[in-house]
Structure 1
Amino acid sequence: MTEQYVVWTENDTERRALWGSTSGAPAPRRILVADDTMKADEAYRLACEGTALLWRGDFQNARQLSKAVAARMDRKPRRDSDDPAQAFHLHRQTQGRRAQILGMLLIPLDADLSIPLRRAPDAHVAFTEAFGVTEQPSVRSLRDLLGAIGAHEWNRKGVLIPALDARIHPAFGVFSPVRGEYIDLVAAAPLPSTESAFDIGTGTGVLAAVLAARGVTEVTATDQDPRALQCARSNLDRLGYSDQVTVIEADLFPEGAAPLVVCNPPWIPAKATSPIEYAIYDPAGAMLKGFLTGVGDHLAEGGEAWLILSDIAEHLGLRTRSELHAMIAAGGLTVIDRIDVKPTHAKVSDRTDALHAARARETTSLWRLRRR
């Protein structure tokens, strides 16, 4: 990937630094140097106009300014619609605009990834994990830096998985398994065999670990994201399952067949706007279609494919149940069972959430499929 640089004028001198963005946002063209004298109203106006602010003041004051700008956005009336699909698209537009504006507050990083600002945290380890070694001064949004710090804490503390009686440690850019209902489904469904299994799109490796914990002798876990592959290997090694589970890079399926093939694809057929969102949003439902189309060729005789999928897309008007059944049939598959569970995450009961009506009706299912 070609490196991008930001250019700005400071003390009558043109300066230049490497540009970094987790979401792949282009380098801002207009940059104004700002410090603790900057007022939130002015920062909000400039950001809305497309002017980024390179912060030279106190780091903690930058965080407060970001919160104040966010509060100004929250005061604007929310655009709602009675049509679920339209409500979803309006919500995504609002989220995108919010990320764009908050991404206009920029923080300088020295070549060693330290922050040359007063009261800045020592986050060298977190930034190295997230961004790699740059060996030159760089500029990133405060939003990116806080995300990296938060991800480092998630990775350090881990997420307790009751089905494993252990913690999974998500890495930066790898979706955290905080919604445990889909894990519990895989932990409870009757296994067709303990000989071998494939875990397609393994992410943190949590489902591969659950299968290994249930006694599946050989598990092959696949992913095509380098961060996910490294994260899964680390978690499985930490849990003591590295001898049972082989993690390989693949676009969906490994070679061969297994009596059980498990996949928990992204649940919402919509465009992702950052790498981590690919765990939630599946553009045009490509991964879901790819799994259902190809899994029959990777099932051993009498084997099962387990599709773990929320019906949130149906309640958002983005996919119908009949379309899902048509995809299953087109893959030469038949449904032998469906195990349902209601999510319990906080947004289910949050009536202020723009998508509350859909979330309140959501069901997560494990579809047990076989070849016809």
Structure 2
Amino acid sequence: MNPAVLFVVPDLAAGGAQPMNVRLAQQLMHRGWEVGLAVLFSRAEVIAPAMLAGLAIHRFNATGLPSKLAALLRLSRLARRYELVIGGVQFAATNYGYLAARLAGRPFLSWTHTNFARHQVCAGVVDRAISRWVYRRCPQVVFPSLGALEGLRQVLGKTPRGARWQVIENFIDRPSAPASKAVPDPVVFAKPVVIGIGRLAEQKAFDRLIRVHATLRAEGLDHHLLILGDGPLRAELKAQAQALGVAQTVFMPGHVGNVPDWLGHSAVFALCSRYEGFALVLLEALSCGVPVAAMDCPSGPREILQDGRFGLLVPDGDEAALTEAIGRLLRDATLRARYAALGIQRAADYRAERIMPRWEALLGEIVAAHRRRRG
């Protein structure tokens, strides 16, 4: 009988980490594992209910300090019903999960999705201090990329003695279905589309992509820019597009439910983030056969694209190079077709059937070692 595993996540919002937790939980459940999902905070939920089907969801709705302390105690009681606790995201999920697992006497694993050295500046001083304290004591940490692993090592100075850090790449459940023949929005796709996907926040740097779009249009390259996602910088990005004279050719419809269709009808996928941990959306674009142009930000794009073999990779932060790369793809249909085929080939390396055996082996090993210690 497979062990029971509890995932701890901060919320069920959009992004790469939370949906990836749900994907792994579902994959384990379909393979006979008992899986629970503890959701710490009450925030807007974007993950579709269909993705959560069959999972035991435990919502804690922690808000102020008293309820957060109460949530930790409730989480520790819940953890006793499982044989392994996984902190599915850095910061709160890892911190709560580690402490709850210690109180419950259960083994713990942190799944750290981002480049922690870059991402920690988004957290307060107390959260950063608690996270560093936890990571120095956490026996098992999984990262989606070598760059993400090196980011945490940079923060701590070294891998803690006795800790086991390893890379297990993120995966896609199955190859993306071909885009439907009907375009999602005829107005958007009336011109060739450059698409970016992500939260409208500082990390994703869509301000760069809007400037690139404006430059290419000024050069006479007629196309549209589509940015899927939502976030705190929506108004600022719209104002930027207006100031640059491209408000009529930049489209930001927010969250959409059929992302592969929007990707599948696009000419180019662009990634211009200031940092990532893996850049799952880059993999999803490859799986849809969309040629990509990506900045070599820490961490993930270089590893996924194998130094530029499977997509155009430009130096981190170099907007002129990204402009040139996107322009090349838009102007050259043969080049687009070549990278589209290569992208589908590369995406096959990240299918669940190739990645899941590594997860099952690791989780089974952790639980077996804990059982032996308990006699």
* Alignment TM-score, normalising by the size of structure 1: 0.32
Q: Indicate the structure with greater helix content.
A: 2
Q: Indicate the structure with greater strand content.
A: 1
* Alignment TM-score, normalising by the size of structure 2: 0.32
- The structure with higher relative contact order (CA 8 Å, sep 6+) is 2
Say which one has the larger Rg: 1
